[in-house]
């Protein structure tokens, strides 16, 4: 892990790489004047370095070992700073990197620098037997603010924790194992943790979770995390989809890319990590987080198409496709979290391929029980620098998930609008709560390493949920 700290502006640069910003048309960003003036214009031209966002160029430097120029585009916005820092951190060839990008006169510049370095410098090496992928070990912010750095690191560490859990192979994250991994981190952050085993899940009558779990030899778990700071106003309820591997069940998926279904517990990872960050930041918001964990497998006792399940509360469900399992376990997750009577519920799930078709791999879908709820997520996401887009809970489509012999069925029967019908299904279990549903099926996984993103699990949602909690001031 890359260490990030503050140093005096006149720190000794020898042996280090100096990271500085350059605007479009090779105009120096504030603080980059000297370094850029010292660079050979021929070399800049040869490298076609124009200061465009995404461009990074390493050149020799008289005081430091080398200087890494980071293109920031027309205006030094915090998205460009975050991405530029992420790109720079991976090309640095020295153990020490020093930067003054945090000095750019822009609200949030320092935060963006820390996020870029901490997220862009993420490496998942648990299964590599040799060395580190990155040379850099420390990033030094010239004249940085220690408190700001520390605060931002809480959220980036939580994002990287979620990434670790998601990147872990399904073999090593059976529901009981993952529940214990979450417990260890949550307890260290001072949260109250309850883990329900399969007999408790049966006693509590979580029929939908049990139904999905029936096909696996690895028993299900349900984790409840509670953060209850003194004098907290608002109460946030979180629910995360925790499918530790989604084979599709008897409605089996095809082989191509099935390995990606180890990601299907991203929602669980994200809400758990966000709760940990909220507690570590001591935000004055009560949070109750419910995480149902199970495989979706194909054993002899597996759920069959046509079976009917009874979730702990709300409509009965005719299962017509066992691959639409996320909404089943979330029905129970929503039922459990509602018992705690939160002021607002947010669920996070890699729920539908249709959300990915609609918005691609870089944007997550938001559905809100009313426009205020959706707006509060969008605002939090924009402050956090994550990409979300609102989709409609279009009630006319609800007819398409009515079952002939149960209350609801778990697929609509149409190939179209699948993210919406899935969200409408969940709305029955959120009932009259203020509720938002985040479908992260597209962006839960980064397909390439670029900027603050590293190929593999993205951890999308952690930063947005932390910002959401920051914005919740009192009961509404």
Decide if 253 is catalytic: yes
What DSSP string runs through 74-132? SS--HHHHHHHHHHHHHH--SSEEEE-GGGSSSTTHHHHHHHHHHHHT----TT--S--
User: Tokens 């590293």 map to which residue?
Assistant: 454
> Residue 277: CA atoms inside 13 Å, Cβ hemisphere, count?
30
Residue count, binding to ligand BES (CB under 6 A) = 16
Q: What is the largest CA-CA distance in the chain?
A: 78
352 binds, among Zn ion, ligand BES, none (CB under 5 to 8 A by kind): ligand BES
- Cβ proximity of 186 and 275 under 8 Å: yes
Residue 347 lies near Zn ion (rule: CB under 5 A): no
Residue 418 lies near ligand BES (rule: CB under 6 A): yes
Q: CB nearer to Zn ion: give 314 or 326.
A: 326
Residues 158-186 as b/e (b if ≥16 CB within 10 A, e otherwise) read bbbbbbbbbbbebeebbbbbbbebbbebb
Using CB under 6 A, which of 115, 157, 246, 386 touches ligand BES? 246
Q: CB nearer to Zn ion: give 226 or 361.
A: 361
329 binds, among ligand BES, Zn ion, none (CB under 5 to 8 A by kind): none
CB of 197 to ligand BES, least distance (A): 24
- Cβ proximity of 359 and 334 under 8 Å: no
For residue 405, the 8-state DSSP code is S
Using CB under 6 A, which of 158, 411, 457, 462 touches ligand BES? 411
CB of 443 to ligand BES, least distance (A): 10
Residue 263 lies near Zn ion (rule: CB under 5 A): no
Using CB under 5 A, which of 157, 323, 386, 439 touches Zn ion? 323
Q: CB nearer to Zn ion: give 157 or 295.
A: 295
CB of 350 to ligand BES, least distance (A): 4
96, 241, 262, 327: the catalytic one is: 327
Residue count, binding to Zn ion (CB under 5 A) = 6
- Cβ proximity of 297 and 247 under 8 Å: yes
**CB under 5 A: which stretch of 197-205, 258-266, 329-337, 389-397 binds Zn ion?**
258-266
CB of 465 to Zn ion, least distance (A): 20
Residue 350 lies near ligand BES (rule: CB under 6 A): yes
For residue 362, the 8-state DSSP code is S
Task: Tell me which residues in 319-338 interact with ligand BES (CB under 6 A).
Answer: 321, 323-326
Using CB under 5 A, which of 326, 417, 459, 461 touches Zn ion? 326
CB of 319 to Zn ion, least distance (A): 11
115 binds, among ligand BES, Zn ion, none (CB under 5 to 8 A by kind): none
Answer positive or negative: Cα dihedral of 413, 417, 423, 428.
negative
CA distance 26 to 106: 19
Residue 441 lies near ligand BES (rule: CB under 6 A): yes
Phi and psi at 291, nearest 5°, equal -130, 100
CA distance 217 to 194: 22
Sequence-distant (≥ 6) Cβ neighbours of residue 353 within 8 angstroms? 418, 441
**Residue 7: which of 215, 149, 132, 192 has the closest Cα?**
149
Name the closest residue to ligand BES (Cβ): 353
CB of 115 to Zn ion, least distance (A): 29
Q: CB nearer to Zn ion: give 112 or 212.
A: 212
Q: Which run of H or E residues covers position 419?
A: helix 418-430
Phi and psi at 99, nearest 5°, equal -140, 155
Task: Tell me which residues in 249-268 interact with ligand BES (CB under 6 A).
Answer: 264
Residue 211 lies near Zn ion (rule: CB under 5 A): no
CA distance 113 to 18: 14
> Residue 298: CA atoms inside 13 Å, Cβ hemisphere, count?
10
52, 65, 90, 253: the catalytic one is: 253
Residue 452 lies near Zn ion (rule: CB under 5 A): no
Residue 353 lies near ligand BES (rule: CB under 6 A): yes
441 binds, among ligand BES, Zn ion, none (CB under 5 to 8 A by kind): ligand BES
- Cβ proximity of 423 and 391 under 8 Å: yes
Q: Which residues bind Zn ion (CB under 5 A)?
A: 243, 246, 264, 323, 325-326
Q: Active-site positions?
A: 253, 327
Q: Which residues bind ligand BES (CB under 6 A)?
A: 246, 264, 321, 323-326, 350-354, 356, 411, 418, 441
């Amino acid at each position: 892990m890359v260490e990030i700290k503050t140093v005096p502006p006149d720190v000794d640069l020898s042996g280090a790489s100096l990271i500085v910003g350059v605007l479009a048309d090779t105009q120096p960003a504030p603080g980059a004047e000297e370094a850029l003036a010292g660079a050979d214009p021929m070399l800049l031209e040869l490298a076609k370095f124009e200061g465009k966002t995404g461009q990074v160029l390493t050149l020799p430097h008289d005081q430091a070992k080398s200087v890494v120029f980071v293109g920031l585009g027309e205006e030094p916005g915090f998205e460009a700073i975050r991405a530029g820092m992420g790109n720079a951190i991976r090309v640095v060839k020295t153990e020490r990197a020093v930067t003054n990008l945090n000095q750019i006169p822009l609200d949030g510049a320092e935060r963006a620098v820390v996020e870029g370095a901490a997220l862009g410098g993420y490496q998942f090496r648990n299964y590599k037997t040799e060395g580190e992928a990155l040379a850099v070990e420390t990033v030094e912010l010239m004249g940085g603010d220690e408190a700001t750095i520390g605060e931002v690191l809480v959220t980036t560490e939580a994002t990287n924790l979620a990434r670790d859990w998601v990147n872990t192979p399904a073999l090593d994250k059976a529901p009981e194992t993952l529940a214990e991994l979450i417990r260890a981190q949550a307890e260290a952050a001072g949260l109250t943790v309850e883990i329900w085993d399969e007999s408790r899940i049966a006693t509590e009558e979580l029929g939908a979770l049990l139904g999905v779990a029936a096909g696996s030899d690895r028993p299900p778990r349900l984790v409840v995390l509670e953060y209850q700071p003194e004098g907290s106003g608002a109460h946030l309820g979180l629910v995360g989809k925790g499918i530790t591997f989604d084979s599709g069940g008897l409605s089996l998926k095809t082989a191509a890319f099935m390995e990606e279904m180890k990601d299907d517990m991203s929602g669980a990872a994200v809400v758990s990590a966000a709760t940990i960050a909220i507690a570590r930041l001591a935000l004055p918001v009560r949070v109750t987080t419910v995480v149902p964990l199970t495989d979706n497998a194909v054993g002899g006792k597996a759920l069959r198409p046509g079976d009917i399940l009874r979730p702990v509360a709300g409509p009965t469900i005719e299962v017509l496709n066992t691959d639409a399992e996320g909404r089943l376990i979330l029905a129970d997750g929503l039922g459990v979290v509602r018992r705690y009577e939160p002021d607002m519920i947010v669920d996070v799930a890699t729920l539908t391929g249709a959300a990915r078709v609609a918005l691609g791999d870089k944007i997550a879908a938001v559905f809100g029980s009313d426009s205020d709820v959706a707006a509060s997520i969008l605002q939090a996401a924009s402050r956090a620098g994550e990409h979300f887009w609102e989709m409609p809970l279009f009630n006319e489509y609800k007819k398409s998930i009515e079952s002939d012999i149960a209350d609801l069925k778990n697929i609509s029967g149409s190939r179209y609008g699948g993210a919406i019908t899935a969200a409408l299904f969940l709305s029955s279990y959120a009932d009259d709560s203020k509720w938002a549903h985040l479908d992260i099926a597209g962006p839960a996984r980064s397909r390439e390493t670029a900027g603050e993103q590293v190929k593999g699990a993205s951890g999308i949602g952690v930063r947005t949920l932390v910002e959401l909690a920051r914005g919740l001031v009192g009961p509404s």
